[in-house]
Structure 1
């Protein structure tokens, strides 16, 4: 079956979502294990944008208390650089810039690598404490995929990119996504919500297999 005919796993995430940071490695395993059965795409949800954008200090009490829970449940680690960033409290969190980066990466890359790039962006923040508001943060990440940093920067700064990202946020709202991460399996015109929030690999795969089987039954009319 050609790639464009395969079911699509739609991962709706936000770069500032800690539980997404934990869910991305699960989906990377899924992408590898199901590489001949589905494709994976990532949409940015816009968790902190517009009036919701804020200094990290505004929510740091909640974030710092949630980090150990995320680490225990998912296995990811939050780096000291990120913890220092949070403790300082002034870093501005706005989902638009990392959403721009993800959007531009999709335009440049033809090899279905948006999921690992999305996780790289989160590691840049949650492990290395990098500033996701700056295009320069993403350029070394882009280059590791052998994509041109100059093209990335040019597209990142375009007003059209900002407009496209706002459309993406709007599309996520129209889907009815209430929180992140959300994972949806799309088979033709049908959609199956597989996860609202983090799921361990085995739990997620069981639900995915069930949804794929259900989709096949519905398509064949059995």
Structure 2
């Protein structure tokens, strides 16, 4: 199951021709018995290359998860469509079963809308599980599948042999990172409740110096 996220996402960029962003969405269609069978996922397109690629985000994320790699894309050779799955981002209010199988079917709709007869799929985390479903949905249209730390169909810690290969650092973000952000947000919200007024900066922010992680290490504040 795909657990929906209710967090808001930043607005996509403004269109700028073939190398810019196009954001599209469409209504869901009802199938037999009134069940939702397909949905045009909200998406934005970057590049104008002949090789078409769908980028599918992971659990508790949305298409903005790929924002940091956008400047490095080969937009001349590839066209990238970043999507929001049902329950996430601009599709957070879309109804459905929220399964990886449903998400795989949903990917075909924007491909039809964009006129992409054949395409590849890049999936991170849960998005990798979605990509694994595509060969059963549209085998004749799928070119390649690239998976970054995909989740398995089931968790079996006792599996043996268990030759896991994982990222120790880099762009991979695990579920624990999202939980840590939630903890920090709740902490700050509770602290702000008891302060007489909003704090103001008392000096420059100290940045974390690292080849792998970027962020603020310290930020002096003046309390009202």
Structure with a larger share of its residues in helix:
1
Structure with a larger share of its residues in strand:
2
User: Structures share a fold, TM > 0.5?
Assistant: no
TM-score, reference length from structure 1: 0.29
TM-score, reference length from structure 2: 0.28
